[in-house]
Amino acid sequence: MARALKKLGAQNTTAFVEHVAGAGSRNVAFYHRRRAQILAARSTGLGGIVSFVTFGGQPINVARNGNVVAAFTIDDIAWTEIQQRTFIAATTEIHRTNPDATPVLATTGAVTPMAAAEIGKRGWKIVHVKP
């Protein structure tokens, strides 16, 4: 993970490392390591990741153009009550702190049509990245 974060070269990696330090299992730690590797490998395609920020307790990223990038290595995203609450809270916080930013969801997994529509209604751009 340290190599991936060094390659990424983003500011405030402490926000990511402190979050990852709370991984309660090997599987969760692996997930975070893989996420760091994907951020480093796909940074350019996501607009050039320049820093980490924390929204809703999750370390996410800011791209060179100011967009906020939430990149997650997950299998699938379906629209559930939890997703709805998460996206409403994240969107509110992002627009409060970065009013001109476009939130970007970068995911390695599939997004159901309903989830894509609901996420899009909140102004998010969805980008599929290769794992």
Predicted pLDDT of residue 102 = 95
Cα(84)–Cα(66) distance, rounded to whole angstroms?
Answer: 24
Q: Is 3.40.1350 the CATH number for 2-128?
A: yes
Predicted pLDDT of residue 30 = 94
Model confidence pLDDT, tens digit, residues 78-87: 999 999 999 9
Instruction: Please answer whether residues 58 and 93 qualify as being in contact, where contact means their C-beta atoms are separated by less than 8 angstroms.
Output: no
Q: What is the dihedral of CA 21, 10, 49, 33, to 10 degrees?
A: -30
List the chain domain ranges.
2-128
pTM of the predicted model as reported, rounded to 2 decimal places:
0.91
Give one DSSP letter per residue of 4-73, joined into a string. HHHHHT-B-HHHHHHHHTT--SHHHHHHHHHHHHHHHHHTGGGT-EEEEEEETTEEEEEETTS-EEEEE-
Model confidence pLDDT, tens digit, residues 20-59: 999 999 999 999 999 999 999 999 999 999 999 998 788 9
State both tokens at 27: 């599987």
Cα(54)–Cα(73) distance, rounded to whole angstroms?
Answer: 17
